[in-house]
Chain A
């Protein structure tokens, strides 16, 4: 069965610190897709990134970076020089044919950035 684990329920850091959100997944499929979504206090879910299982290249987008490691089944998300506006709940998700391409969601990590 597929599973996504975000072991960090809540993380609190001071602005400008770097922070890494962990995501560990389980799947039997060799082809799968991983996602990160952000849910700010206003409530909407915002798509951040999609990664397929054949692309292990790390991705950087401004202050955001993602580290995909198949060897450890992890897809971690790092925010560099965090800002108060980064405060949100972040969800990691997985999909593949095993789930009929429905998203399997992690429980989310609440990130609090203190000024």
Chain B
């Protein structure tokens, strides 16, 4: 158990819909990362937050947004869903003292299926 909690574990929805994925980082971790893993794209970095502020942005679509709340949990919002958004979405957290070069601890992922 990594200590990172993601909900929901599975989600099935239709095209055009909007979903919210939630992540609670490990106790004490200030950084939260979101990744997308699809069969053809591998692991894609979406976005990173550090103590409530956006720290880095990767290949995140404009239809997607995220935020980190004062209690450090994070949410990833996916809207106007398309079939190609079907993927496993991971949240990870890291120890801030490592300066960004520390290991990431991943949640179990949220598997999104868009029909």
Chain A: number of interface residues, binned into ranges: 20 to 34
Alpha-carbon separation in the docked complex, A43 to B104 (Å) = 16
Chain B, range 61-115, C-beta contacts under 8 Å to A: 88, 90, 92, 99-109, 111
Instruction: Check A44–B108 contact: CB distance below 8 A.
Output: yes
Instruction: Check B102–A50 contact: CB distance below 8 A.
Output: yes
B16-46 interface bits toward A, Cβ cutoff 8 Å, 1 = contact, 0 = none: 0000000000000000000000000011010
Q: Which residue of B lies closest to A32 (CB)?
A: B101
Given contacts A43-B109, A47-B105, A50-B103, contact A100 B56 (CB under 8 A): yes
Q: Which residue of B lies closest to A47 (CB)?
A: B103
Instruction: Check B42–A47 contact: CB distance below 8 A.
Output: no
> Interface size on B (CB < 8 Å)?
22
Q: List 18 A-B contacts (CB under 8 A).
A: A37-B106, A43-B108, A43-B109, A44-B2, A44-B108, A45-B90, A46-B106, A47-B105, A95-B101, A96-B101, A100-B56, A100-B100, A102-B45, A102-B48, A102-B56, A103-B45, A107-B42, A108-B42
4 A-B pairs besides A47-B106, A105-B43 with CB distance below 8 A are: A35-B103, A100-B56, A102-B56, A103-B45
Instruction: Give B residues with C-beta under 8 Å from A.
Output: 2, 42-43, 45, 48, 56, 58, 88, 90, 92, 99-109, 111
Instruction: Give A residues with C-beta under 8 Å from B.
Output: 33, 35, 37, 42-47, 50, 52, 91, 95-96, 100-103, 105, 107-108
